[in-house]
Structure 1
Amino acid sequence: MAGFKQLLYYTFRVLHMIVNNIMAIPAFTVWIILLSPLRKLQPSLYWQIERILFKAILSFVVMWTNSGGYKIIESGDDLATLHDKRVLLLVNHQSTADIPCVMSALLPKSNVIGQIMWIMDYILIYTNFGWVAFLHGDFFIQQGKEYRDSQLDLLKRHLLDVYLPTDKRWIVLFPEGGFLYKRRPRSQAFAEKNGHPVLNNVALPRIGAMNTIIDTLSGPAQKSADEPSRKLEWVVDMTLGYPKGEALDMPGICIGWWSPRNIHIHYRAYPIADIPVTCDAQQQWLYDRYTEKEALLEHFYLHHEFPDMSLQEKRNLPMMNQREVPFDRVWFLIAYAFYAVSAYVFWIYIYYPMWSLISSLVSYIF
């Protein structure tokens, strides 16, 4: 009986996820199309609305995480003063579950999730989330040595043509360039050959994207006193830890396959003035951060929480007590109702008429 109930539970979550996607993603797309004239006439107003629509649709992903019993526990620097700043967020990459975990951590933080720019593998553009991310203005990067220089040039153009004009603030970057289980063997071989630390809990990070972002966004802080800063202001190092080092995956989170557990996140923030200027010095700085991540995760896997570092070294922001990241159910219900009503209205006035027209044309032709 328990197995049958569990099967029903998985089935319900899968069906609910399918309904969510069918309901929300086309509705988001239609809203973006309907609002497109406003993008030309009043771009600032358009992007304010788009941020709300984007935050609302990401709350669905956070709901799948929270309702499955996967709680996010955060510690380290308190980022409350950075919500409206231009921030580069560096995250260690273990699996597809990292994405909903980062979303869950950032959703309650004011407008951060609405003004965020993700840097993700180009293959994700062919997924449901990838389509939404494309419309939002995220950047899709292609891996491989043969693409490296051209991709970094495209990233620079994207920052200048999309990130700044649309007034996005936070940038999410996974510097390891792939999942840990894929990158670790090559990373360790490279470290042994070149005299770098041999890491087990993280892979050696790549510097290209970070260097491009810092160089591109190192111009004048602002054009006028009334405009927001155009310069990158902070780099936040986010260390993500799964119990026992057993990374989950996004499909498993969505259907509730994994048993409920706490997933821990630790923040450490650095003002941009603390980041070296040259590429070689930035690479060493980034290696140092990932060596620290290695030690943090080693402690976490042994003690099931990140160490209290408040008395060990100077921090640039006040530190928070370890706490669970809240899930705003009221906001989610509003977002859910909005997309449900939008889907119903669009079905009556857009989807069904278009479907009827296409069916008639196909019948006429064939």
Structure 2
Amino acid sequence: MPLGRQFMVLFPEGGFLHKRREVSQRFAEKNNLPKLEYVSLPRAGAMKVIMEEIGPRRDEGASTSKENAKKGDDDNFNKSPRTKMIIDNKVGDSIEWILDVTIAYPDRIPLHLQDVVCGIRPACTTHLHYRLYPSSEVPSDTEGMTQWLYDRFIEKDAMLEEFYKTGKFPSKGSGPYVVRQVRQDNLRYLILHSFFIASTFLQYNIFNALWSYFW
């Protein structure tokens, strides 16, 4: 990818759920799509631009149909690309994998920005579910890509419904279902916040000195 970056983060929903859900459900009703409760229907525009610019390069015979987009949906980890690739790209020049992350919050109450910045919310456990897809699995045509993205979010909605009923994400396919617990390091956050405070203080003093010198 450009500048040697390893990851690109995309939020296809395009906003907070409590603001987007009603609009999403009206759109779904108008276009004969499922009404989602725990997520909103995604927008495919940004993903299409990304895949056109740094997505996998395909030959003219590559499949881009809806049928191709739905293959292997039951696997948590999809192992083999389903379209023929032109092998002339260097490794890292294009997106090779799509990591699909589904987040479940305690009591369905998400973490807000002020909670994270100010630390005013009591400690809680946030659950993240990962699924990995080869980027070549995503259809290159607009209709196919949009449907592929819709299918993933319809699955997310079903997964979250199951989680909030049972406390566990559903497991599909024969692949391993690995659960790992990650704890935040308070010392690390203390060091980071101390650095930011010291950096802000230093910048303020430098700016103040420059202001006094020139004016």
TM-score, normalised on structure 2? 0.74
Write the deviation string for residues 173-222 of structure 1: whole angstroms up to 9, x where unpaired. Answer: 11011111111111111111111111111110010011111111134766
Instruction: Identify the residue that residue 67 of structure 2 maps to in structure 1.
Output: none
Q: Structure 1 residues 340 and 222, CA, compared in 2 at 3 Å: closer, same or farther?
A: farther
Q: Distance in 2 between matches of 1:269 and 1:294?
A: 17
Unpaired segments ≥5 residues, structure 2 = 58-85
Instruction: Identify the residue that residue 285 of structure 1 maps to in structure 2.
Output: 148
Instruction: Identify the residue that residue 194 of structure 1 maps to in structure 2.
Output: 31
Instruction: Identify the residue that residue 249 of structure 1 maps to in structure 2.
Output: 112
Aligned match of 1:304 in 147, 167, 175? 167
Instruction: Identify the residue that residue 324 of structure 1 maps to in structure 2.
Output: 181
User: How many residues matched?
Assistant: 186
- Of Structure 1 and Structure 2, the greater strand share is in 1
Instruction: Identify the residue that residue 51 of structure 2 maps to in structure 1.
Output: 214
Deviation at 1:342, TM superposition (A): 7.4
Deviation at 1:256, TM superposition (A): 3.1
Q: Which amino acid aligns with 1:305?
A: K
Q: Which amino acid aligns with 2:97?
A: W
Unpaired segments ≥5 residues, structure 1 = 1-162
CA RMSD of aligned residues (A): 2.9
Hey, which bits of structure 1, 4+ residues long, moved more than 4 A?
Answer: 219-224, 328-337
Q: Structure 1 residues 330 and 286, CA, compared in 2 at 3 Å: closer, same or farther?
A: same
Q: Which amino acid aligns with 2:208?
A: W
Q: Distance in 1 between matches of 2:99 and 2:154?
A: 15
Q: Structure 1 residues 299 and 353, CA, compared in 2 at 3 Å: closer, same or farther?
A: closer
Q: Higher relative CO (CA 8 A, sep ≥ 6), structure 1 or 2?
A: 1
Write the deviation string for residues 111-136 of structure 1: whole angstroms up to 9, x where unpaired. Answer: xxxxxxxxxxxxxxxxxxxxxxxxxx
Q: Distance in 1 between matches of 2:33 and 2:105?
A: 25
Q: Distance in 1 between matches of 2:118 and 2:212?
A: 35
Deviation at 1:313, TM superposition (A): 1.9
Residue 268 (str. 1) matches residue 105 (str. 2): no
What is the percentage of aligned positions where both structures have the same residue? 37
Instruction: Specify the SS of the correspondent of 1:177.
Output: coil
- Of Structure 1 and Structure 2, the greater helix share is in 1
Aligned match of 1:358 in 207, 211, 215? 211
Q: Distance in 2 between matches of 1:335 and 1:258?
A: 19
TM alignment of 1:106-117, pairs within 5 A: none
